[in-house]
Amino acid sequence: MMAKKVYLLSVLFLLALTVSGQKSAIKKGTKKIKRGEYNEAIAYFQKAFDDPEYKGESSFHIAEAYRLSNRLHKASPYYKDAINNRYNDPNALFYYAFSLKISGEYADAERQLKRFLEVAEDPFYISRAEEELDNLSYLIILSEKKNYYRVKNLAAINTKNDEYSPVYNNGELYFTSNRESGKIYKATGTSFTDIYKVKTSGANVDATTIQRLGDEINFYNVNEGTLAFSPDGKTMVFARGNSGKRRGTQDVDLYISRFRNKKWSEPRLLSINDPETWDSTPAFSTDGRTLYFASNRAGGEGGIDLYSSRIDRRGRYSKPKNLGPEINTAGDEMFPYVADDASLYFSSSGQPGFGGLDILVAKRKSGRIIVENLGKPMNSSYDDFSFFLYKPDRGFFASNRPESKGNDDIYTFLNNDPNLKTVNYYLAGITKTHDENENEVILANVKVQLLDFKDEVLDELVTDRDGKFNFRVYEQERYTLFGEKQGSDAENYFVTRLEFTTVGKSIPQEELTQLVNNVTFDTTLVLDRIVIDKAIILENIYYDFARWDITPEAGIELDKLVDIMYDNPDIVIELSSHTDSVDTESYNIRLSQRRAESAVNYIVSTGVDRNRITAKGYGESRHIARNTNPDGTDNPEGRAKNRRTEFKVVRRDKTRLQNNTDNDAEFDEDKFFEDKKGTLKKKGNNNR
């Protein structure tokens, strides 16, 4: 009997130890997830996996660890176990659906999303699930899309490890890989990633030339991720992070390095990084004046969004701008790439797609952004990303599809689309002013903005001493050029607008002779000097005989003065009306005063402050031409010149200048780097 009691006590003691050990394992695993050490977390949760009491909880956490480390394709059976063991977290159903989609099990994914919507309460996840149901219904159309792409694994450089982020630059293919054994990244259980390069002619790489970039770029204990080169190949921006130095974060930042004296300079933090978020996957525009990147910073559409930052001629980066809901979704948008025809390629898990990240292209057409999925075989149900063109019809991308040699592999592609021929339209011009003799002369340091039909800024630059500017424009659109003098004498020039349109100027597809065709429109943007009390004639302001009502034609011309008043908020003007010598002098004074007041009332009706504009009728007293010929006969041409409307700036009122905070305020990159030197402090969710 005593032996039985001892045995029973021993069993109970062992059970208590087991339960205690499983609780401890789950607790430790939870801490590892919070630290971003997902691979080690999985090992802890596996210890409690076989116990029925903890199977649901441990299964869910294992699935989450796989999802958070970009291995959602491995999470599906664990989400299923969590659900079957009644683990009470509706997100298990939500993410189970997405893991099923990656496996190509679309019908089952749809069922799980509908189950999720029956129990979901969080508005964000409800909206996301409904959006994904719509995306799944679109797959039938997407699958039937005619496709001209041919895809091939770039076996010469792929290994059993990860290879991704292919970027071609000056006869070399750069890419990111964790192929070399070294310190282990605790999120994935693999080595940290470094940047490599290999000599190549198109897609024909010389594998014997593969080499890792030097220690000035690749650090031993962090991940170097996606990279991008400026158009001249002399500036490199790349992602670096996951140092683990700060508890509970996966810090990923953008760094910049320049090629000088035959080597890359010490990388520096870019000023556009957000200290609390993940910033990665950079790409330059084709003119090098804009940097695109991905970030999960606050204020976006949800998940990871795409942003842009303009670069001025001094190398300073503007405040990042979200690309908006046409591109970004509640899912993740990453890996931007801008082609020579200005098409924006990127990868998304929120736009309609086959599963995971799909490669899409956004094109501007008639003032709208049209987003299209590239279809199969470019996309699969797994992650497809890192799109790059080295010619208009061929390039590289990365994917972790099942046929890959490792996890992420680099692939090459060829596009045989017979309608691939494109036209690039440009608007080029010179900024000028008038000298003392009214001759046009070049005006330097003018900030020129290209505005669309909604007055939203599409692009901007500051002209050099040659006064030249060049913007990409698109078919069937109306634009406004907005010029503003920069520098110490900026207040001496009117801010100026100039309308331009490409409507009716497109080249038909059948007339294109080259794969890539370039068309440039030329223009001149003239900024006049502001001279106090100098009269400026408003052309084409006409009135009916003996009337002062504003005609529709006159309204069009007065609208131009309205623009001047809004664009130059510190000027105070006098608007004057003049007549010829027909009728009496007193009558002409009254008539011109009424006409001037009518014009002023029209301008004030648009919202211009009445205190900024005075009406003055001068009648026939200030003629600029003869009303009659020397012999006393009528001079119709002279009288027509005298019947005019003018305005002049009478003073500048600096108190009216609003202290606007420019949304594109520039950062001082050098100062920022000195303030943040040596720090790595971003929160993120992957090492790409």
**Which residues, 6 or more positions from 539, have their beta carbon under 8 angstroms from its beta carbon?**
557
pLDDT tens digit string along 619-646? 878 887 788 788 778 777 777 777 788 8
- Residues 262 and 393 placed together within one structural domain of the fold: yes
Q: In the prediction, which pLDDT does 580 show?
A: 81
CATH number, position 474? 2.60.40.10
Q: In the prediction, which pLDDT does 274 show?
A: 92
- Residues 71 and 81 placed together within one structural domain of the fold: yes
- The percentage of the chain sitting over the pLDDT mark of 70, rounded to a whole number, equals 90
Over range 444-472, report the average pLDDT: 94
Q: Are 161 and 177 a contacting pair, CB within 8 Å? A: yes
Give the pLDDT band (50/70/90) at residue 444. Answer: very high
- Residues 411 and 498 placed together within one structural domain of the fold: no
Q: Are 267 and 294 a contacting pair, CB within 8 Å? A: no
- Residues 187 and 279 placed together within one structural domain of the fold: yes
Give the pLDDT band (50/70/90) at residue 48. Answer: confident
The burial of 217, by beta-carbon neighbours within 10 Å (0-12 exposed, 13-18 middle, 19 or more buried), is given as buried
Q: What is the pTM of this model?
A: 0.84
Tally the residues of the chain.
688
CATH number, position 50? 1.25.40.10
pLDDT above 60 (res 13): no
Give the pLDDT band (50/70/90) at residue 6. Answer: very low
Residue 438 lies in a domain: yes
Helices (H), 35-51: 38-47
- Residues 214 and 331 placed together within one structural domain of the fold: yes
3-state secondary structure of 414: strand
- Residues 178 and 309 placed together within one structural domain of the fold: yes
Q: Are 289 and 317 a contacting pair, CB within 8 Å? A: no
Residue 8 lies in a domain: no
Q: How far is CA 419 from CA 366, 397, 512, 516, in A?
A: 19, 22, 10, 11
pLDDT above 70 (res 16): no
More confident: 579 or 86: 86
DSSP class per residue in 457-481: EEEEEE--TT-EEEEEE-TT-EEEE
Highest mean pLDDT among 12-16, 239-243, 665-669: 239-243
CATH number, position 394? 2.115.10.20
- Amino acid letter at 362? A
Over range 667-673, report the average pLDDT: 46
pLDDT tens digit string along 156-203? 999 999 999 999 999 999 999 999 888 888 888 899 999 999 999 999
pLDDT tens digit string along 273-296? 998 899 999 999 999 999 999 999
Query: Which domain covers residue 567, as residue numbers?
Result: 536-656
pLDDT above 90 (res 658): no
Interior angle at CA 179, CA 173 and CA 185, nearest 5: 120
CATH number, position 610? 3.30.1330.60
Residue 19 lies in a domain: no
Q: Are 222 and 242 a contacting pair, CB within 8 Å? A: yes
Q: In the prediction, which pLDDT does 683 show?
A: 39
pLDDT tens digit string along 129-142? 999 999 999 998 89
3-state secondary structure of 314: coil
Least confident of 99-108, 162-171, 179-188, 255-264: 179-188
Residue 3 lies in a domain: no
- Residues 136 and 85 placed together within one structural domain of the fold: yes
Q: In the prediction, which pLDDT does 605 show?
A: 92
Q: In the prediction, which pLDDT does 623 show?
A: 81
- How many structural domains are present in the chain? 4
Cis ω for the linkage preceding 377 (within 30 of 0): yes
- The percentage of the chain sitting over the pLDDT mark of 90, rounded to a whole number, equals 60
- Amino acid letter at 49? F
3-state secondary structure of 38: helix
Residue 662 lies in a domain: no
- Residues 254 and 291 placed together within one structural domain of the fold: yes
Q: In the prediction, which pLDDT does 94 show?
A: 94
Residue 103 lies in a domain: yes
- Residues 270 and 221 placed together within one structural domain of the fold: yes
Two tokens, residue 244: 């683990």
Residue 426 lies in a domain: yes
